[in-house]
């Protein structure tokens, strides 16, 4: 008698620098490829790993969510540690648990949060080159925040979508968008530990743009980031963002920010009301 199939949910963190994205493709190594192989090596089963979001080449994740089906008798909470010994150091299985059969990492998601990091310095640090967008021009944060308010809410976001149309609809609801300055962690900056003071005025050295929504279009976060940066440098005025949304023309908005500053932070689910597959 065959063993019953279980649905296992994984929470993954990874450094996307060495991968051509999440999804398996013929032109390079992907995160999905390595995690699926680790599952196969562990269970002896061929399985398909479903992810909440297909991050692009160079994009990182703090809380990617994925699920797979298995007949293995390994306790659900043990999968994370068992897989870790079969994964490279830049991919971490943070957590594993059994979830209902209806759970689908993509279609059951109700909210995703992304973070974009900008190293706001004319001269950057080599340690951060794969993890932030170094941008040395002066930025008007007040205008960027003013522009960001036009993005919050329910809109047709096709002006921030690469290769429109990619989805049945470009309407999404952005629940929050914040732009905050963060100081550089002291061990990465010039710091006088004896006198306990920084040798660099670093209070605004890292610009953190964080956005959560019920869903995102292809390159939407990076296009929004590029547009907000162009507002900050004076190429656009805050009210221009409203015009971009109304006209729905990608060519009117700013550039797509580099991939390596982007992080998938978290994915939320309503486990009491799982969405069925569309």
Inter-residue contact 93 to 66 (CB < 8 Å):
no
CA end-to-end span of the chain, whole Å? 33
Query: Mean pLDDT across the chain, nearest whole number?
Result: 91
Average pLDDT over residues 179-183: 88
216 CA to centre of own chain: 10
How many Å apart are CA 133 and CA 117, to the nearest integer? 6
Asked whether residue 276 carries a pLDDT value surpassing 80, the answer given is no
Asked whether residue 200 carries a pLDDT value surpassing 60, the answer given is no
Number of H helices, E strands in the chain: 5, 12
Point out the residues that are catalytic.
Answer: 56
The pair of three-digit structure tokens given for residue 57, joined into one six-digit string: 């080449």
Residue 63 is predicted with a pLDDT of 97
How many Å apart are CA 104 and CA 52, to the nearest integer? 8
Q: Quick one: pLDDT band at residue 190, thresholds 50, 70, 90? A: low
Q: How many CA atoms lie within 13 A of 56 on its CB side?
A: 14
Q: Quick one: pLDDT band at residue 164, thresholds 50, 70, 90? A: confident
Residues 6+ apart with CB under 8 A from 264: 52, 53, 55, 59, 60, 61, 62, 63, 64, 112, 113, 114
Asked whether residue 33 carries a pLDDT value surpassing 50, the answer given is yes
Asked whether residue 229 carries a pLDDT value surpassing 90, the answer given is yes
Asked whether residue 193 carries a pLDDT value surpassing 90, the answer given is no
Average pLDDT over residues 28-42: 97
Average pLDDT over residues 211-223: 97
Inter-residue contact 213 to 173 (CB < 8 Å):
yes
Q: Quick one: pLDDT band at residue 1, thresholds 50, 70, 90? A: low
How many Å apart are CA 135 and CA 139, to the nearest integer? 9
Residue 201 is predicted with a pLDDT of 47
Average pLDDT over residues 88-101: 97
> 101-152: per-residue pLDDT in tens?
999 999 999 999 999 999 988 888 888 999 999 998 889 999 999 999 999 9
Burial (0-12, 13-18, 19+ Cβ within 10 Å), 227: buried
Asked whether residue 197 carries a pLDDT value surpassing 60, the answer given is no
Q: Quick one: pLDDT band at residue 275, thresholds 50, 70, 90? A: low
Domains plus CATH for the chain? 6-107 (3.30.70.580), 111-267 (3.30.70.660)
CA distances from residue 61 to 22, 139, 199, 200, 209 in whole angstroms, order as listed: 10, 27, 32, 29, 15
CA distances from residue 10 to 15, 35, 49, 84 in whole angstroms, order as listed: 16, 10, 10, 12
Residue 184 is predicted with a pLDDT of 72
């Amino acid at each position: 008698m065959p063993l019953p199939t279980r649905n296992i949910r994984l929470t993954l963190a990874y450094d996307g620098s060495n991968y051509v994205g999440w999804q398996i493709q013929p032109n390079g190594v992907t995160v999905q490829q390595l995690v699926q192989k680790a599952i196969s090596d562990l269970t002896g089963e061929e399985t398909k790993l479903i992810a909440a979001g297909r991050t692009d080449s160079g994009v990182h994740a703090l809380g990617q969510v994925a699920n797979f089906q298995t007949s293995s008798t390994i306790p659900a909470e043990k999968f994370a540690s068992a897989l870790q010994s079969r994964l490279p150091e830049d991919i971490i299985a943070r957590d594993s648990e059994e979830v209902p059969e209806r759970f689908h990492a993509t279609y059951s998601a109700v909210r995703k949060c992304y973070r974009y990091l900008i190293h706001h310095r004319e001269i950057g640090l080599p340690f951060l080159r794969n993890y932030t967008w170094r941008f040395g021009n002066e930025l008007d944060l007040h205008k960027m925040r003013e522009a960001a308010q036009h993005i919050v809410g329910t809109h047709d976001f096709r002006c921030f979508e690469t290769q429109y149309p990619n989805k049945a609809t470009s309407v999404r609801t952005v629940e929050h968008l914040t732009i905050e300055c963060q100081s550089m962690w002291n061990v990465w900056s010039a710091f006088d530990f004896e006198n306990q003071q920084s040798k660099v005025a670093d209070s605004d050295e890292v610009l953190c743009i964080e956005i959560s929504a019920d869903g995102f279009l292809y390159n939407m976060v990076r296009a929004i980031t590029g547009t907000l940066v162009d507002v900050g440098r004076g190429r656009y005025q805050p009210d221009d963002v409203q015009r971009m949304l109304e006209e729905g023309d990608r060519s009117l908005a700013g550039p797509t920010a580099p991939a390596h500053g982007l992080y998938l932070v978290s994915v939320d689910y309503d486990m009491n009301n799982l969405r069925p597959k569309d």
